[in-house]
Amino acid sequence: MYLRFFNLRESPFNLTPDPRFLFLSAQHEEALTHLLYGIYERKGFIEITGEVGTGKTVLCRVLLERLDKTVSTALIFNSYLTKMELLHAITDDFGLQPRETTSKGYIDVLNEYLLSEFATGHNAVVVIDEAQNLEPTVLEQLRMLSNLETERGKLLQIILVGQPELHAKLATLQMRQLEQRIAVRFHIHELTRAETEQYISHRMSVAGAAHTVTWSRRALRLIHHHTGGIPRRINLLCDRVLMTAFVRETHRVSAAIVRRSVQELASPWQSKRMCWLRRVLLGVGAIIGFLGLIGGGVFLWPTVQTQWYPRVVEQVLAVTRHTAPPQPVALPPPPASRPQEILLPKQHPLSQPASLPPPLSEPASPVAPVLATPALVPPAPPLAIDVGLTQTLWQAKIQAEEQATRSHLGGLTSWETIVTNTAKGLGLEVMTWQTSIWQLQSLTRPCFIEVLPEPSASRPELWVLARGVTEGVLIYQEPEGLLTVPLQRLRQVWSGKVYLTLEESKYRGFSLAPGMVGERVRILQQTLKEFGYFTSAPSGQFDAQTQQAVKRFQRANQLGDDGLVGRRTLMLLLHIGADALALAM
């Protein structure tokens, strides 16, 4: 919305990990140096850790661009894998086909490939993002893969990238064999205040407007103060800051605009320092107040007992003797509630169920209400919800849960396999997507999400998400219908995993590729332009620039960057709001 106002070519603070926007601070340069050293010196295991949002994923993408043609790579973004799934993912990324789909078959074909690469002077690297989610058995399988070596060095370099929990997991007694093999380690810290200012200036410059926006020194200090120097949080806050400045029609970002933006982003943006100080002050005040009550009671109790108490008792008795009981008053009938309308598209072809009831302001089980949190009401405009697909997903959820119960999967850690098989029987294709809570709110199409509503739960639960809303998300369950899950509650329970869906019969054979011309291509270009990936005017011709825009979108969302709009790319486009593309099918 604000791009033209600030003369920007694209949004400077997107959350997508675009290597063009990477700000290489001193520590990011050092981390990249560690990675290149560990790869070319064949050190085996390399560990890169950092807090959420510090730029680990985009650093991996820059690393892939820095490597020369002698290094083949396998990039694993989905870390919720079994041992067999991991072996399949690695060999598939390397373009290998095992003779038999067993553990031995995968390892044999991988060993042959690595030996042939080593003989020609080439190297092979496996990069695993979000590695803190790997199960101990999968980490042990990686350790066994590191045994593929010669007397001159390791055949396979394995880079584990994750949050600080990864380091803690590797430090356990169970993982000591793997921990001792890690030859290169680096931890990415938050940006300093000076680096935060440089980071903002760098991203504005890449977006094409280095000097069209003036940031006051106090505003920059507040941004660093509230974000803690974490790049992802800086992006979120600065994006809201530019929107606020656009609304106020000013090119100067002041401290007042930053404070207003912080308020709009709500409680998670209160700085840690302020929260700690507030807790200390409240604690000290409570102690002083308690001591004051005790002291006052000691000194005043004799006076209360001998003078005030008898007078109060006498006055109360006099009132009760001369006052008649009040007559009951009829209460007016409660006003009739008007259910909120929901704009419904055409029914899903698999079923013709009745329309959904409106969202409830206070979600029932399994969405437990959050104490001290006001009930949130869905926005006033009508919401477009695919009713048929939503209820089909509910059927798939019930069948998946029944299958898990029949199979006695009490310790289930992921619904991916069961959901994929169950949905396939209902004519749906499923794709797993790891994303942020902010992107989850932008989804406009029904899908599944995994949640952990109770810390003591033996397995995650599966919810049917109807769509995202400003206040959080709408989920569907029977018999209640649509329920509003507030953002605060969502942060507490969501695992970060989404299962996107696509109707196989409706989109069978769909594909957009270079050289194609038509309305679908024009809508694709317009959609990518709205998302900030395509900069030219939509022409309706799938040219080289369109292919590059598709590749950027695919890389930013952890898809294979072939530049073709196939089923997986289409699935993600439809879920994040490409409604016009769906109508053009």
Distance from chain centroid for Cα 362: 24
Distances (CA, A) of 215 to 187, 222, 243, 484: 30, 11, 14, 38
- Write down the pLDDT at residue 394: 92
In a domain, 111, yes or no: yes
- Write down the pLDDT at residue 310: 52
The band of 487, judged by pLDDT with boundaries at 50, 70 and 90, is confident
Least confident of 390-394, 471-475, 532-536: 532-536
**Which percentage of the chain shows pLDDT scores above 70?**
75
Distances (CA, A) of 445 to 367, 434, 466, 575, 577: 20, 16, 6, 5, 8
Domain of residue 425, CATH code: 3.90.70.10
pTM: 0.47
Q: In the numeric block, which tokens belong to residue 373?
A: 């949190």
Least confident of 43-57, 242-256, 324-338, 430-444: 324-338
> Considering only CA atoms, which of 101, 88, 96 is closest in space to residue 113?
96
User: Does the structure show a pLDDT above 90 at 448?
Assistant: yes
Are the beta carbons of 567 and 429 closer than 8 angstroms? Answer: yes
- Write down the pLDDT at residue 568: 82
Q: In the numeric block, which tokens belong to residue 326?
A: 């009040």
Average pLDDT over residues 526-534: 81
- 356 versus 388: the higher-pLDDT residue is 388
User: Does the structure show a pLDDT above 80 at 459?
Assistant: no
- Write down the pLDDT at residue 296: 54
According to DSSP, residue 98 is labeled -
Given 151, 171, 188, which residue is the final one in a domain? Answer: 188
* Same-domain pairing of 55 and 177: yes
* Same-domain pairing of 34 and 171: yes
Domain of residue 210, CATH code: 1.10.8.60
* Same-domain pairing of 163 and 62: yes
The CA-based angle 361-575-345, given to 5 degrees, is: 65
Are the beta carbons of 450 and 397 closer than 8 angstroms? Answer: no
What is the number of domains present in the chain? 4
- Write down the pLDDT at residue 11: 87
In a domain, 364, yes or no: no
Given 188, 204, 221, which residue is the final one in a domain? Answer: 188
In a domain, 15, yes or no: no
Are the beta carbons of 77 and 89 closer than 8 angstroms? Answer: no
Q: Using CB atoms within 10 A of its CB, is residue 44 exposed (0-12), middle (13-18) or buried (19+)?
A: buried
Q: In the numeric block, which tokens belong to residue 232?
A: 């992802």
User: Does the structure show a pLDDT above 60 at 549?
Assistant: yes
Average pLDDT over residues 561-573: 84
Domain of residue 563, CATH code: 1.10.101.10
In a domain, 577, yes or no: yes
The span from the CA of 368 to the CA of 355, in Å, is 25
- Write down the pLDDT at residue 302: 53
202-208 CB contacts, 8 Å cutoff, 24+ apart: 202/21, 202/23, 203/12, 203/13, 203/21, 203/23, 203/235, 203/238, 204/12, 206/12, 206/20, 206/21, 207/8, 207/9, 207/10, 207/11, 207/12, 208/7, 208/8, 208/9, 208/10
* Same-domain pairing of 172 and 201: no
The span from the CA of 55 to the CA of 24, in Å, is 10
Beta bridge partners of 502: 429
Determine the structural domain holding residue 542 and report its residue range. 519-583
The band of 455, judged by pLDDT with boundaries at 50, 70 and 90, is low
278-332 residue pLDDT tens: 555 666 666 776 666 665 555 544 554 555 445 544 544 444 444 444 444 343 4
* Same-domain pairing of 414 and 494: yes
328-371 residue pLDDT tens: 434 344 444 333 333 333 344 444 444 444 444 434 434 433 33
* Same-domain pairing of 530 and 477: no
* Same-domain pairing of 426 and 558: no
In a domain, 451, yes or no: yes
Counted residue by residue, the chain has a size of 585
190-210 residue pLDDT tens: 888 888 888 898 888 888 775
In a domain, 398, yes or no: yes
Are the beta carbons of 521 and 546 closer than 8 angstroms? Answer: yes
- Write down the pLDDT at residue 584: 60
* Same-domain pairing of 457 and 573: no
* Same-domain pairing of 59 and 104: yes
On average, the pLDDT of the chain sits at 77
In a domain, 345, yes or no: no
* Same-domain pairing of 149 and 252: no
71-104 residue pLDDT tens: 888 888 888 888 898 899 999 888 888 888 888 8
128-145 residue pLDDT tens: 988 898 898 899 888 888
* Same-domain pairing of 182 and 197: no
Helix (H) or strand (E) holding 522: helix 519-530
Domain of residue 138, CATH code: 3.40.50.300
The number of C-alpha atoms within 13 Å of 214 and in the hemisphere containing its C-beta is 6
In a domain, 132, yes or no: yes
Least confident of 166-170, 452-456, 500-504, 538-542: 452-456
- Write down the pLDDT at residue 447: 92
* Same-domain pairing of 431 and 547: no
- Write down the pLDDT at residue 352: 42
- Write down the pLDDT at residue 258: 92
- Write down the pLDDT at residue 464: 93
Given 201, 235, 269, which residue is the final one in a domain? Answer: 269
